[in-house]
Structure 1
Amino acid sequence: MFKEKVSSLLNKALEEYPSLFLIDFMVGGDNAIRVVLDGDEGVDLQDCMNISRAIEHNLDREEEDFALEVTSAGAASPLQLPRQYKKNVGRKLKVRTGEGELEGNLVEATEDNITLEWKAREPKPVGKGKITVQKKQDIPFSEIQEAKVILKF
């Protein structure tokens, strides 16, 4: 019952902030509520506070004691939803599939797959030496085991 009430408050709060979306939500033992958000334009502290307040101010600690944590998906967290890929178009990803790992620039993200582009050194078709070729591959979401944005410092 408590989880349903929190879930309803969370969904109502997210409707007010359409650029935010839910990555993870759980209510553990001792009513420890954990909410992980992401956003089309990122998530800042104010976003976390807004969602936190929308939940906290509508629960009564006299009725039920709880702990509440609202965080953003970390920069190093694996991407989980198609919406997260869309906001990262143009960035470099490391993608692991059953066939191995690929690194490339995310050039497109649809509801079903992503498209990566990268340059590779390959032997010349004729003669000695190598040439740089542009590679491109579509990867269905169903084949992605893990994908992370490669952070540049």
Structure 2
Amino acid sequence: MSSANQDATRARIEAELDDPLRALGLDIEAVEITPAGKRRILRVAVDKDGGVTLDEVAEATREVNRVLDGSEVMGEQPYTLEVTSRGVDRPLTLPRHWRRNAGRLVKVTTGDGATATGRIVASDDERVTLDVSGQRREVAYADVKKALVQVEFNRPGAAGDVSSDEEA
């Protein structure tokens, strides 16, 4: 499948899934089609404010299967479907990505090649405010070349966010 055909297929899949997944309260973050021998792997990444649960991924998987089974968009070639959460390895590209990662540490590279690592303090539709070593720094999304959440094993405030299994 050529790159142009794959892009067109990906756009059609996204268009067909947008409303049904939005009805579940989910946003489509990525649609990827990868060749795997005689099959293809279709990965659909979803997200929402507060993150997605395994039950929501399962519900999204059922909905994506239902929609694609009633559609010709994937054609005759067999495929394997994977529905996942967005994950931290995907770049922050939309205002909602910044909002959903408030409090997280991010590494930002701007168009001029400068980099900064700071915690997301606030964000709106135009810019993000980062705490970089105790200094507030506003960065317009238009100036961001790349932004990735940094994995932290001892994130400040995260210890209180983990629930205990002792009562189960």
After superposition, residues 67-146 of structure 1 pair within 5 angstroms as: 67-97=80-110, 98-119=112-133, 134-146=134-146
- 1:25 paired with 2:38, answer no
Cα distance in structure 1, aligned partners of 2:135 and 2:9: 51
**TM-score when scaled to structure 1?**
0.73
Question: How far apart are the structure 1 equivalents of 2:32 and 2:150?
Answer: 28
Q: Equivalents in 2 of 1:28, 1:48: separation in Å?
A: 20
Contact conserved, 1:6 with 1:55, CA < 8 A, in 2?
Answer: no
**C-alpha separation between the residues in 1 aligned to 2:32 and 2:83?**
11
Q: What amino acid does structure 2 have at the position aligned with 1:102? A: A
Specify every segment of 5 or more residues in structure 2 that has no aligned partner in the other structure, as ranges.
Answer: 1-7, 154-168
- Find the aligned partners of 2:9 and 2:52 in 1 and give their Cα distance: 26
Mapped contact 2:14–2:28 kept (Cα < 8 A): no
How many angstroms apart in 1 are the aligned matches of 2:97 and 2:108? 14
Shift of 1:83: 0.2
Identity %: 26
Structure 1 runs not aligned, ≥5 long: 120-133
Between structure 1 and structure 2, the one with the greater Rg is 1
TM-score normalised by L of structure 2:
0.67
RMSD over equivalenced CA pairs, Å: 2.7
Question: Higher relative contact order at CA 8 Å, sep ≥6: structure 1 or structure 2?
Answer: 1
- Once residues 83 and 13 of structure 2 are traced to their aligned partners in structure 1, the CA distance between those partners, rounded to angstroms, is 12
Structure 1 residue 141, shift from structure 2 partner? 0.8
Higher share in strand: 1
